[in-house]
Structure 1
């Protein structure tokens, strides 16, 4: 029994072991958590808030599944990590829906809504009325319960005091992005460029759209949640983790997301950071560059093979999405990215398709 507990408390280092944990522990636990939040969302009084909350769960379940993979590296703590990751990602997805299809384009409204994410990662923060600047306000306490769930689970992470400053920095960047990308389309590009100038020194090799994409990922936050499950975590180690994930791992994550959403975003009039490249060849070169840099960055972390699997899993997850086959130009980019793929990427590609088939 002791050996079993020890093995379950280690980072999985091979794809088969990782996916075994995902199928046995992670997917069932994520489904259980989301079923609970789906029930809560269904009781939201305001019809528009209820519609967006339910849609965010129905259409973005894979975000929670992907994020919860980090709990596979500490199964004894998954009863803390999975509810935390699912609740935090559900806030993110819900607010993204609200802002994407918002009845306003008010910067103050978007910033107040996303204050909930900053409060969620601060166990000392007091709740406020996050809907105060918009018409739709009656959610029956749904957003407050999501925030409180995050705060409660964070209090159970023994090393969170060391991780918190770095989590807060990433969430602040995420919040800024969500505000600027959702304001009036005639203002958002200038706002994003001005914001990038303030942070350009953090990622001098990235273009402005690539930096913005990197701030839109929650993976660095989830990795820091995982690291905070260790009572011996130091601020030096937390800084090392943040540096390994931001900007390149986070950037790969969101650039792939935008890659497959180009047709959908064009129809919806939504900003898409892949649309700023002159041609698909340049876009492909930049994504490949970011993948190479991401692999180089995570090589400095303990159990680096786990983080390499995360990168390969991202490529497999997004390139296996049905949206790829619906877009001729993206099919070509996908084929080039998958060409000469490692066996690991092909393994995750097959598993990603299988998981989607099961969900249907």
Structure 2
């Protein structure tokens, strides 16, 4: 029995064992957590906050499903990792809706809202009124409950102290991006370029839009949550994980997201980082370079086969999205990126299609 438990809590080494854990444990438990947050959101008194909270859960469930895949690498800790990842990602999706689809364009409001994400990973920080700068105020404690759920589950991770500085770095960058990308469209590009000037030496190989995209991913945070489940985690190991995920793995995640959202974003007038390339050929070349960089970087990590599955799974998940078939140019780009795909990516592609249709 002990040997069985050890096998279940090792990193899955190949796609079949990964997807077995996903279907058996991850997807049902993510759904359970999201149903709990949906019930909570239904009780929000303010109608606008309620609408955005429910919309973020109903339309972005796959964000939580994808993030919680990291719990498949340590099933013994999934009682902490799945609620933590789902709560943190739900904060992210809810705030994205509040900044993107709601009533405010005030960057100070956006900054205060996103303080909740920093508070979620800093258990000693004093909680504040995150809605103080906007008209809508009464969420019935919804956002604070999400923050406290993150804190309560972080307390179950024995290696969190080593991971925390690197998590805070990623969450701070994420929060900056959300502030600048959601302000008045006339101001946002200049704000993003000024922000990049402060950070471009960290990622000299990236263009400004690629750096910004990399800051928009939560995958590095989730990997550090997973690592924090190990009481032997030290600063050197946490730093290695941070550098292996940021910027290329994180950048790939968000560039693929923007790739398939181009038509939708054009209609909505939303910023899309794929629109800043000179032409489609350059865009595909740059995304391919980021894929190569991500594959190279994860080789620095133990159990690199698991992280390779994450990369191939990202490509499969996004390139199998129904939005791809609705956009001829993106469909052609997808075919280019899928060309000479390894069997692993094709396996995840088929699974992604099945999950969308049946779960």
Asked if 1:329 is matched to 2:333, the reply is: no
- Unaligned residue ranges in structure 1 (runs of 5+): none
Tell me what 2:22 maps to: 22
Tell me what 1:273 maps to: 273
Tell me what 1:205 maps to: 205
Distance 1:52 1:125 in 2: 26
Q: Deviations over 1:248-280 (max 9, x none)?
A: 000000000000111111111110000101111
Q: Deviations over 1:4-63 (max 9, x none)?
A: 110011000100000000000000000000000000011111111101100000100000
Tell me what 1:97 maps to: 97
RMSD: 0.5
Tell me what 2:2 maps to: 2
Distance 1:165 1:323 in 2: 37
Q: Secondary structure of 1:183's partner?
A: coil
Asked if 1:251 is matched to 2:251, the reply is: yes
Tell me what 2:232 maps to: 232
Q: Secondary structure of 1:299's partner?
A: helix
Distance 1:346 1:216 in 2: 26
Give, in angstroms, the shift of residue 102 of structure 1. 2.7
Tell me what 1:318 maps to: 318
Tell me what 1:136 maps to: 136
Tell me what 2:12 maps to: 12
Distance 1:25 1:104 in 2: 39
Distance 2:32 2:102 in 1: 29
Alignment length, in residue pairs?
359
Distance 2:253 2:146 in 1: 24
Distance 1:126 1:17 in 2: 42
Runs of 4 or more, structure 1, over 6 Å off, are none
Give, in angstroms, the shift of residue 126 of structure 1. 1.9
Give, in angstroms, the shift of residue 178 of structure 1. 0.1
Q: Deviations over 1:181-217 (max 9, x none)?
A: 0011111000000000110011101000000000000
Task: Normalising by structure 1, report the TM-score.
Answer: 0.99
Give, in angstroms, the shift of residue 284 of structure 1. 0.4
Asked if 1:184 is matched to 2:184, the reply is: yes
Distance 1:236 1:165 in 2: 12
Q: Secondary structure of 2:300's partner?
A: coil
Task: Normalising by structure 2, report the TM-score.
Answer: 0.99
Distance 1:9 1:322 in 2: 34
